[in-house]
Amino acid sequence: MQEIKCPKCGEVFAVDESGYAQIAAQVRDREFEKELERRAKDLEEIRASEMKLAQLRQKEAFDKELSSKAAEVAQRDRIIEQLRAKLGSSETERKLAVSEAVSAKEKELSEKTNEITQLQSKLSNQKAESELKEQSIHKQYENELKQKDELIEYYKDFKARQSTKMIGESLEQHCLTQFNSLRMTAFPAAYFEKDNDARSGSKGDFIFRESKDGVEFISIMFEMKNEMDETATKHKNEDFFKELDKDRREKNCEYAVLVSLLEIDNELYNNGIVDVSYKYDKMYVIRPQFFIPMITLLRNAALNSLQYRQELEVARNQQIDILNFEQNMNTFKEGFARNYRIASDKFKTAIDEIDKTIQHLQKTKDALLSSENNLRLANNKAEDLSIKRLTKNAPAVKAMFDGLHTEK
């Protein structure tokens, strides 16, 4: 229980907790409402003060802007008056300026008209040139097509008029003639001759080689094939690929080219150069009309790599020089060792012979010394020899010598 004293009468009375809470809440609510009203009043006064201050500031700004605008209007009025005065005094200049501007525009318009005319003329000329070029290309294409048809007919007729053996030989002669006609101008340093080396059991028809500064940069093995339409067994180009590849490798050629009139109706071979390197490395099949272009194509491609080939050749020669140097050194060492061994053996033999000679000379010396002693003894005996000793025990000889002395 809570006791509460009345502020007016001073009477004290007791209330339970619920009643006390209600009284406290009423007091709090009343105080809160008073505080809220006071705060709202203060806020209203502050808002009114700020509103008044903002109005004053806005009025000042408006007055300032109004003053500025009035000054700008006055300035514009002065400028307008000056322009009116100037306009009135320079009417002639204005007309002159307008006249000059019109003249300039007319001149510019005239130039533009001329440019348009020139462009139209140029466009017309270009159109005419384009039509002429188109006609020329069309005509050129027709001529090339006609030449191709004529060439096909020529080779068909060419085959029909010759024997099977002569067909192949004539195709070779045809290619040789084509090459020789350009040899001195296009290939002055090239080698192009028949392949006559059949030691391996087969040979190609022609070999093309070309070198520069001692470095071979292109080599081609050529095979020419053709046959008559009446031939019972028709050959295909691929029938000759394996043998041609074998010839190329045995003759150390970089490329292999089959110049063929076989399969004359096969569009694959009639359209140009056919690369068959998917099956045989660096091998091509061509018609005779592509013989010279094929050589030129491969030769120009090889010339682009000539510098690298030369550098490779230099490196290879350097390696060969090193190998030759090492080989010469080893040869010298082996020769020196062999000569030293032989000299040593001969020196030993000579020493042995000298020793034997010394022994022989010693024996000879001993024999000579012995012979000298015997000669000395013999000489002594010869010196002691006399008639008396000789006739001793020989009375008859002594009597004869005595008789000789008496006769004297």
For residue 148, what are the domain limits?
Answer: 92-161
Tens of pLDDT, residues 231-282: 557 889 999 999 999 999 999 999 999 999 898 888 899 888 999 999 999 9
Tens of pLDDT, residues 312-362: 766 677 666 666 666 766 676 676 567 767 766 776 776 677 777 777 777
Structure tokens that stand for 168 in this block: 């192949």
Whether residue 182 is found in the same domain as residue 148: no
- The yes-or-no verdict on residue 201 having pLDDT over 80 is no
Strands 2-5, 274-275: pairing is unpaired
Are the CB atoms for 168 and 224 separated by under 8 Å?
A: yes
Are the CB atoms for 191 and 209 separated by under 8 Å?
A: yes
Q: Is the dihedral of CA 339, 340, 341, 347 positive or negative?
A: positive
In a domain, 251, yes or no: yes
Mean pLDDT of the chain: 76
Whether residue 293 is found in the same domain as residue 172: yes
Tens of pLDDT, residues 221-243: 999 998 764 455 788 999 999 99
Whether residue 147 is found in the same domain as residue 256: no
Strands 255-260, 283-286: pairing is parallel
Report the distance separating Cα 197 and Cα 204, nearest Å.
9
Whether residue 24 is found in the same domain as residue 66: yes
Indicate which CATH number applies to the domain containing 297. Answer: 3.40.1350
Phi–psi pair at 308, nearest 5 degrees: -70, -35
Closest CA to 190 of 176, 210, 215, 216: 210
Structure tokens that stand for 383 in this block: 């010196």
Whether residue 69 is found in the same domain as residue 155: no
| Number of structural domains the chain divides into | 3
Are the CB atoms for 221 and 253 separated by under 8 Å?
A: yes
Strand order in the sheet with 215-225: 190-194, 206-212, 215-225, 255-260, 283-286, 274-275
Whether residue 143 is found in the same domain as residue 38: no
Beta bridge partners of 208: 192, 220
Tens of pLDDT, residues 6-54: 666 766 666 666 666 666 666 666 666 777 677 777 777 887 787 888 7
Question: Would residue 208 be called left, alpha or beta, if left means φ above 0 and alpha means ψ between -120 and 50 degrees?
Answer: beta
